[in-house]
Structure 1
């Protein structure tokens, strides 16, 4: 970036005079069930689901009863969904011979019908490679259908980021809560190795891990994976990039030759193709890229100078109806400086990046996911698979350097076919990247109009604490980036 933002001092992460939220203070999770363990400083969740006691949780279910009537269903999601994720050809979850206890967890998660990617039957022994558009499918949901229908399967789910590991583990815990005896463990770098040793001393059915940590546990003899029957790689294109591919190869070397490998990816680069040719025998490939589109996400750009960016962001905040927003920058320094600017403007704001201590990353992710703050400033750490339903606006404060990153960023809004808005602040040096991105993704990014139709991105969805937001200042009151 030709011009740097003025360093106005260290931003206070996740602290705002309007929302009174201190990230260092533990707080009981508001959305997780009693069996779950929230992310605490230095620890990752591992939960043993106790056998469901019908007399404690719900009236006894006898043969012939309508078991669906006893479920504790969440409020029905009335938001509009695009046809590309609702066109499941009449399939129902019951069509796939899943256990009743698993179906109970699925419906209590609020999933009514399977998406196009969820209709895939992963119970065969074949290897699979699934390519589907970012933000439209929900990888963790598909993974869980396989793992928890067969409780005795020992599975490893490998994801590229710690936040994604926490998200998948929480969903896994919720969906399997009626399956008595399920043990789910999440382990990532930056956490206490002694805790992992104690947890792996007992039987674990599913481990969700980042690559470096699981390889470390394997080499130390703590995680015994010779009998693991399935390895799932979420965000496979990232896991098979230069950052992780050597680690992934080492992990596979410790697995049984009869293991099943499932790859899930929003893109299909040459690295994934080479990996498939080497490790997957006659894989079953599912490519939904041609069927799914970005039509649920409306994309605009605003042509501004670097000095005008904060002023433009202030204007957007005052004119848009934001449930929650994610704002992307290209460096950790700019993330912290922008978070401070936004806080000075009077808006609630957290920030997150890879150089933060893990305990603070966990707390920011947990609190933003639970709606305790309206805006989150981050690096590309948050582009991979993070699924927060309330996010309806994504803003690229710094335009990404390549089309793949752009695809993952804007996919944080418009999750699972819901409507979303992506706004890009474009400086003179970004104009060529903008054109390249449009060409590669075959999409149209239009100039931002004076007024944006709320029906393009607003739905009846309120999960953010209304007390966390101060009254929006009028455009022009804020300072500009220098």
Structure 2
């Protein structure tokens, strides 16, 4: 018999929601859904820590939909996301669920993001929707203009809260919460919870449920490769990699938009057609590139961490880190763009000496790396960095030991240094021979 906790029936949803779940083809709740759904249904605030792809969107959408009151034509839920792409993605999911529930025209949702005709949006808001999905800046703008009121909302979702903080939108979220009712249920989801975000949560959330999903550190279907840069040009190594792999779509991650621009230009000069995605692009440019990716114009995209979570790019088969990130979580977000929904995935990272601490941490957390190099369109196995270090350490120790055994002469004669060096060299050879025989 199926464990009740692994079954959506344990949540006592309205029958219409079970039709939605069936049409979404969900067989059982994910770990985050098991923990978050009962709390949301009870009206409790939640701080959920989990990575992209863990099922968190439906962890809040399903219980919120369960509570829509059609007799009240007012805003009941506000869902905020840091980028218009992410907000649009959530809104499309909301529209799909409304359609699956056969509630088109009865459950009303509106998308409020920048880059759209503001006057038309104001017209459409004359009759308030039940659900608002959008970016904090545009929602705040419309609230300030009295085009919509969010005071009636009983729940407020902050999706990708740490990215919201990074992109500087937490101030707008703060302003929206100031304009909400005091007892509003807050559902915050974040892949990481830095100190500044914790302070923000402390300000608004009273005794929230903390849900932390310890994701498997790496999907089982993934392979992780490491290539030592060794003072070479990154673009040259990436061209070698491109001669070796045949990606459906590869994202090349960099640590910053200026680096991304330079790297994309270098690859284009070498004949590799690569698209580019980062926060410095205008919304129109970003929309154009995403459309070109959809139309399979590119096999390679040079990107910053915005593409790891702020933008949904489908069909990624390879992740290439031109530079490794500074923190473990960011490595996981990046590689999490591939090996999704049972697909296989490959992560290839270029590394330098400064990355060794991060590599050590990742290995301690159960990640297995293949240490390789790539030349002439072929992978070549190389020794791990720590094996080379151990070898160097052994050599240094033998050196010291050999010097200890060199006979010191009391009288210093011409050529004594040369003789001592010869003696040390001879002892060293013997010691090495004995050591490696063991």
State the TM-score, normalized to the length of structure 1.
0.66
- Residue 31 of structure 2 is aligned with which of 113, 116, 119? 116
- In the alignment, is the contact (CA less than 8 A) between 1:299 and 1:423 conserved in 2? yes
Q: Cα offset for 1:392?
A: 2.6
- In the alignment, is the contact (CA less than 8 A) between 1:154 and 1:206 conserved in 2? yes
> Which residue does the alignment assign to 2:96?
174
Distance 1:138 1:329 in 2: 27
> Which residue does the alignment assign to 1:409?
334
Of structures 1 and 2, the one scoring higher in RCO (CA 8 A, sep 6+) is: 1
Q: What is the CA deviation profile of residues 419-461 of structure 1, one whole-angstrom value per residue up to 9, with x for unaligned ones?
A: 43221122x4xx323413642783546353369xxxxxxxxxx
Distance 1:99 1:370 in 2: 40
Q: What is the CA deviation profile of residues 204-257 of structure 1, one whole-angstrom value per residue up to 9, with x for unaligned ones?
A: 222222222222222222221110111011112233458233322221100011
Segment of structure 1 superposing worse, 102-111 or 395-404: 102-111
Q: Give the secondary structure class of the aligned counterpart of 2:61.
A: helix
- Residue 163 of structure 2 is aligned with which of 238, 244, 255? 238
- In the alignment, is the contact (CA less than 8 A) between 1:163 and 1:365 conserved in 2? no
> Which residue does the alignment assign to 2:276?
351
- Is 1:147 the equivalent of 2:147? no
Distance 1:416 1:135 in 2: 12
> Which residue does the alignment assign to 1:328?
253
Q: What is the CA deviation profile of residues 303-352 of structure 1, one whole-angstrom value per residue up to 9, with x for unaligned ones?
A: 12564322322232333342322111233344344445545666554322
> Which residue does the alignment assign to 1:298?
223
Distance 2:186 2:291 in 1: 30
- Is 1:399 the equivalent of 2:324? yes
Distance 1:188 1:241 in 2: 19
Distance 2:259 2:3 in 1: 42
> Which residue does the alignment assign to 1:267?
192
Q: Cα offset for 1:387?
A: 4.3
Q: Give the secondary structure class of the aligned counterpart of 1:118.
A: helix
Pairs within 5 Å for 1:166-245: 166-177=88-99, 178-181=102-105, 182-240=107-165, 243-245=168-170
- In the alignment, is the contact (CA less than 8 A) between 1:324 and 1:392 conserved in 2? yes
- In the alignment, is the contact (CA less than 8 A) between 2:219 and 2:339 conserved in 1? no
- In the alignment, is the contact (CA less than 8 A) between 2:85 and 2:310 conserved in 1? no
- In the alignment, is the contact (CA less than 8 A) between 2:217 and 2:367 conserved in 1? no
- Residue 315 of structure 1 is aligned with which of 237, 240, 243? 240
- In the alignment, is the contact (CA less than 8 A) between 1:348 and 1:375 conserved in 2? yes
Structure 2 vs 1, CA of residues 422 and 88 (structure 1 numbering), >3 Å: closer, same or farther?
farther
- Is 1:128 the equivalent of 2:46? yes
> Which residue does the alignment assign to 2:419?
none
- In the alignment, is the contact (CA less than 8 A) between 2:83 and 2:311 conserved in 1? no
Aligned residue-pair number: 363
Structure 2 vs 1, CA of residues 337 and 274 (structure 1 numbering), >3 Å: closer, same or farther?
closer
Structure 2 vs 1, CA of residues 288 and 404 (structure 1 numbering), >3 Å: closer, same or farther?
closer
Q: Cα offset for 1:126?
A: 0.6
Structure 2 vs 1, CA of residues 124 and 365 (structure 1 numbering), >3 Å: closer, same or farther?
farther
- Is 1:258 the equivalent of 2:175? no
- In the alignment, is the contact (CA less than 8 A) between 1:402 and 1:433 conserved in 2? no
Structure number with greater Rg is: 2
Distance 1:116 1:260 in 2: 21
Structure 2 vs 1, CA of residues 189 and 337 (structure 1 numbering), >3 Å: closer, same or farther?
same
Q: Cα offset for 1:107?
A: 3.9
Distance 2:208 2:84 in 1: 28
- In the alignment, is the contact (CA less than 8 A) between 1:328 and 1:396 conserved in 2? yes
Q: Give the secondary structure class of the aligned counterpart of 1:222.
A: coil
Distance 2:4 2:298 in 1: 38
Distance 1:416 1:141 in 2: 16
- Residue 361 of structure 2 is aligned with which of 430, 435, 439? 439
* CA RMSD across the alignment: 3.2
- In the alignment, is the contact (CA less than 8 A) between 1:102 and 1:149 conserved in 2? yes
> Which residue does the alignment assign to 1:137?
54
> Which residue does the alignment assign to 1:374?
299
In structure 2, list runs of 5 or more residues that go unmatched: 70-74, 379-438
Pairs within 5 Å for 1:412-431: 412-415=337-340, 418-426=343-351, 428=352, 431=353
- In the alignment, is the contact (CA less than 8 A) between 1:311 and 1:475 conserved in 2? no
- Residue 372 of structure 2 is aligned with which of 449, 452, 477? 449
- In the alignment, is the contact (CA less than 8 A) between 2:88 and 2:134 conserved in 1? no
Q: Which has the higher helix share?
A: 2
> Which residue does the alignment assign to 2:83?
161
Distance 2:296 2:29 in 1: 26
